[in-house]
């Protein structure tokens, strides 16, 4: 028998559990441990609430979770309720699938002002993450600044711009929907420190901005390189740039009944954020590209007024005491998924925050190949009963998958009309619904 502990119940965690099941059949016991009482990590708290079809992948994870040899162990915080060393003593393999839930810091003056948030916090707020339920983002002025040219910047700009009706079928939490409905937003500036050819936005997500009920994207045609240069781009980026060209060609009449403008401000790098106790403006410097396509400052600055700034410049994995970590890349130091004897990592904790949800699948399968090679038929460790005894001794209230199903049932029952669920945003409410 092999005993495997997976820390984190997001996509990387469940793909690893699925791979372990396929590789070892009945001869494995997998515990998927999560600090929250609810599973699925990024699917629940990161994927945009209006992208329900993407969230449907959780059904695949549920099929894995419902099998006999895989167990969900929720509401158990590694580092607090149990240490990595204790887990290594109990399991043949411990796999860190902790994702990258922390923001890469925006290292400019004023980034600590009230009203400046990283995307983990802001997205977490509208997705009902318990850590960010009390955020209260100031949406009381006409201008919002979104920093970054990736898909998260698009998610944030779109959610800020959609009407209540457009968010009808989403699972955005009610407290965020109510605040967004009364927001005074008229102008969302998306700052890219490089140009249209350097965006990390995918065509489908970009295209959505062209179909919003009350918002319209604006691209300055002067920012677009000569169209002939698009031929040199990867096909996906070329499609995205084609989308930007369409936005640039919109006639003014198209904006007449769209009170919100989503402005793509390219070659624009934020240099400081100013305000009296709260953000009031962002000072931005014009940039240019050097021969290596890096952004270089030009010395020309201008200001954008804003009551809210959301920095969408990427994420990092939280370090764990005693586990080797690559600070520059925000992930665990690893060799193809191996960290230390018995300790592995997968997904964003291994690679850093890039790729789609499906990119985590091969990660899970390849780490299980390593585990198979390293642990053979098992090393005779205690596994589940050992964990249960330790958590019991410490009085940790474990949330099981069957408890989660009760939480899910209550969330479905509490849903607004047209919405799939109303998420609990407090840990105590989740635990109560599950018990
Ligand atoms: P990302 O794709 O890495 O984009 C980060 C952006 O931030 C880049 O444009 C980067 O510009 C910019 N940036 C970094 N540091 C900066 C700084 N100091 N100042 C200004 N700009 C800075 O990250 P993400 O948007 O957080 O997305 C993470 C991953 O999730 C990606 O793989 C993404 O595709 C995926 N995702 C997918 C979906 C979807 O498929 N629907 C939705 C959301 C997220 P440079 O290029 O100049 O560094």
Question: Do both 158 and 262 map to the same domain?
Answer: yes
Q: Mean of the pLDDT values across residues 7-33? A: 97
Question: Do both 366 and 238 map to the same domain?
Answer: no
Question: Do both 58 and 118 map to the same domain?
Answer: no
Rounded Cα distance between 144 and 123, Å, is 15
378 pLDDT band, cuts 50/70/90, is: confident
Q: Given ligand 1 and candidates 148, 157, 282, 295, which is best to mutate, with the most ligand atoms within 8 Å of its CB?
A: 148
**Phi and psi, residue 63, nearest 5°:** -60, -35
Question: Do both 281 and 140 map to the same domain?
Answer: yes
Residue after which a domain boundary falls, among 267, 290, 311: 311
Convert the pLDDT of each residue in 53-72 to its tens digit: 999 999 999 999 999 999 99
Question: Do both 86 and 141 map to the same domain?
Answer: no
Residue 359 CB less than 6 A away from ligand 1:
no
Convert the pLDDT of each residue in 65-103 to its tens digit: 999 999 999 999 999 999 999 999 999 999 999 999 999
Residue after which a domain boundary falls, among 248, 282, 311: 311
Question: Do both 271 and 362 map to the same domain?
Answer: no
Residue after which a domain boundary falls, among 257, 278, 311: 311
Residue 155 CB less than 6 A away from ligand 1:
yes
Helix pair angle (427-434, 401-413), 10° resolution: 100
Q: Mean of the pLDDT values across residues 2-29? A: 97
**Atom 33 of ligand 1: nearest residue by CA position:** 151
Residue 312 CB less than 6 A away from ligand 1:
yes
Domain limits for position 22: 2-101+315-434
Residue 200 CB less than 6 A away from ligand 1:
yes
- What DSSP letter does each residue of 292-352 carry, written as one string? TS-EEEEEEEEEEE-SEEEE-S-EEPPP-TTS-EETTTTEE--BTTEEETTEEE-THHHH-
Q: Given ligand 1 and candidates 122, 193, 357, which is best to mutate, with the most ligand atoms within 8 Å of its CB?
A: 193
370 pLDDT band, cuts 50/70/90, is: very high
Question: Do both 333 and 258 map to the same domain?
Answer: no
Question: Do both 182 and 301 map to the same domain?
Answer: yes
Residue 243 CB less than 6 A away from ligand 1:
no
**pLDDT > 90? residue 295:** yes
Q: Given ligand 1 and candidates 152, 267, 271, which is best to mutate, with the most ligand atoms within 8 Å of its CB?
A: 152
CATH number of 385's domain: 3.40.50.720
Question: Do both 207 and 290 map to the same domain?
Answer: yes
Question: Do both 362 and 333 map to the same domain?
Answer: yes
Question: Do both 134 and 278 map to the same domain?
Answer: yes
Residue 205 CB less than 6 A away from ligand 1:
yes
Number of domains forming the structure of the chain: 2
Residue 287 CB less than 6 A away from ligand 1:
no
Question: Do both 286 and 381 map to the same domain?
Answer: no
Query: What's the distance, CA 113 to chain centroid?
Result: 23
48 pLDDT band, cuts 50/70/90, is: very high
CATH number of 210's domain: 3.50.50.60
pTM above 0.95, yes or no: yes
């Amino acid at each position: 028998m092999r005993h495997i502990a997976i820390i984190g119940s997001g996509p990387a965690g469940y793909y690893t559990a699925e791979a372990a099941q396929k590789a070892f059949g009945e001869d494995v016991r997998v515990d998927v441990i999560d600090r929250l009482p609810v599973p699925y990590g990024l699917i629940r708290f990161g994927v945009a609430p209006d992208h329900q079809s993407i969230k449907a992948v959780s059904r695949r994870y549920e099929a894995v979770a419902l099998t006999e040899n895989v167990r969900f162990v929720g509401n158990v915080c590694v580092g607090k309720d149990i240490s990595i060393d204790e887990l290594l003593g109990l399991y043949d393999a411990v796999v860190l699938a902790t994702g990258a839930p922390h923001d890469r810091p925006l290292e400019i003056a004023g980034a600590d002002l009230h009203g400046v948030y990283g995307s983990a916090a802001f997205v977490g707020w509208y997705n009902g993450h318990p850590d960010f339920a009390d955020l209260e983002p100031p949406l009381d002025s006409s201008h919002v600044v979104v920093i970054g040219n990736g898909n998260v910047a698009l998610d944030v700009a779109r959610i800020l711009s959609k009407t209540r009706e457009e968010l009808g079928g989403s699972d955005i939490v009610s407290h965020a929907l109510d605040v967004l409905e009364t927001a005074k937003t008229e102008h969302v500036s998306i700052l890219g420190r490089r140009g249209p050819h350097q965006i990390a936005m995918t065509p489908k997500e970009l295209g959505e901005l062209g179909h919003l009920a009350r918002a319209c994207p604006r691209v300055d045609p002067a920012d677009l390189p000569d169209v002939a240069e698009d031929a040199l781009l990867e096909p996906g980026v070329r499609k995205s740039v084609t989308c930007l060209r369409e936005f640039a060609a919109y006639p003014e009449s198209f904006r007449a009944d769209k009170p919100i403008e989503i402005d793509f401000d390219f070659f624009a790098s934020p240099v400081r954020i100013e305000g009296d106790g709260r953000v009031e403006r962002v000072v931005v410097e014009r940039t240019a590209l050097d021969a290596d396509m890096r952004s270089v400052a030009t010395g020309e600055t201008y200001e954008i007024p804003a009551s809210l700034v959301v920095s969408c410049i990427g994420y990092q994995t939280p370090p764990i005491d005693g586990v080797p970590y690559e600070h520059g890349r925000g992930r665990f130091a690893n060799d193809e998924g191996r960290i230390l004897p018995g300790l592995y990592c997968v997904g964003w904790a291994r690679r850093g925050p890039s790729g789609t949800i499906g990119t985590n699948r091969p990660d899970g399968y390849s780490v299980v190949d390593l585990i198979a090679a390293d642990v053979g038929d098992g090393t005779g460790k205690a596994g589940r009963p050992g964990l249960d005894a330790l958590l019991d001794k410490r009085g940790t209230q474990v949330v099981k998958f069957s408890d989660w199903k009760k939480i899910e049932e209550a969330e479905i029952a509490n849903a607004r009309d047209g919405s799939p669920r109303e998420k609990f945003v407090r840990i105590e409410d989740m635990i109560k619904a599950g018990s």
